[in-house]
Amino acid sequence: MKAQICLIDASKCIGCRACQAACKQWNQLPAINTEFTGTYENPPQYSCSTWTKVVFREYNENGRVQWLMSKQGCMHCTDAACKLACPTGAIYHTDEGTVAIDRIKCIGCNYCAAACPFQVIGFDRFTNRAEKCTFCYDRLVNGLKPACSTACPTGSLVFGEEREIISKAQDRVEKLKKKGHQNARIYGLDEVDGTAMLYVLADKPEKYGLPADPRVPFGTRVWNAIYGPLRVLVVIAVGFGLWANLTKNKEIDKAKEEAQKESE
């Protein structure tokens, strides 16, 4: 688990999307044009400009309509499939325990998006780079909370120390069970060795669009075991290529300058 984590109490979420708007505002992510698809969930998928979104699920059980909503995005897993799948080492754990993407090292292979059991990684086709929630790392290192947690009006999002957050989650689950929510549970405590986004769910994970048993794909582990040691060589090769290209450009510029002097 992480030193500081975020609790997402789905039982308190009202679907206002304040967290979604705060994420876009702080990270300066542009709005996108969307169309009505028969659901209040909007936009319909993650992208290079949508790192956080509120999920809406509607169920009709025994004649009773049930609304289940929650903020979802990168879980910042301890056992991160995206990190294991990345061939260049562009995805790494920060000193704050979050999962980040080095845009310089990213080659746009999209292996991270394919491996992620939560399917929360977007892709920018113009820059050929993977994009996702950063957990507002720039805010964390300056002693601030993630933007999404500061915008929530109902207390559905709470950021704090791991022990304190887990204690609050356990208390909340007990209260929900006493109110008749027998499927209430904590999600993210044990999944993928723990996540920085810890959930309190009033019902089964699948009803919120979350995988019941998220795991790193077997193929991703095999890939990492075989090709992981070669990452250093890949990084060296990329670095050499950039150096060679820079040197060549300098030589071309120098030749142009000399040719210009001779013409004068």
What are the helix (H) ranges across the chain?
18-27, 81-85, 111-115, 137-140, 147-151, 162-178, 218-227, 231-263
Q: What is the CA radius of gyration of the chain?
A: 22
> How large is the average pLDDT for residues 53-68?
88
Whether 99 and 92 have beta carbons less than 8 Å apart is answered as: yes
The residue type of 14 is I
Token pair for 242: 């950039």
> How large is the average pLDDT for residues 228-256?
57
Q: How many residues does the chain have?
A: 264
For 246, other C-beta atoms within 10 Å of its C-beta total 10
Per the confidence metrics, is the pTM higher than 0.75? yes
Whether 41 and 34 have beta carbons less than 8 Å apart is answered as: no
Whether 176 and 24 have beta carbons less than 8 Å apart is answered as: no
Q: What is the pLDDT of residues 83-124, one digit of tens each?
A: 999 988 999 999 999 999 999 999 898 999 999 999 999 998
Q: What is the pLDDT of residues 19-49, one digit of tens each?
A: 999 999 999 999 888 888 888 888 888 999 9
Checking 30-34 for CB contacts under 8 A at 24+ apart, the result is: none
Specify the 3-state DSSP secondary structure of 102: coil
Distance CA 91, CA 89 (A): 5
Whether 59 and 207 have beta carbons less than 8 Å apart is answered as: yes
| Average pLDDT over the chain, rounded to an integer | 88
Specify the 3-state DSSP secondary structure of 17: coil
Q: What is the pLDDT of residues 252-262, one digit of tens each?
A: 556 556 555 55
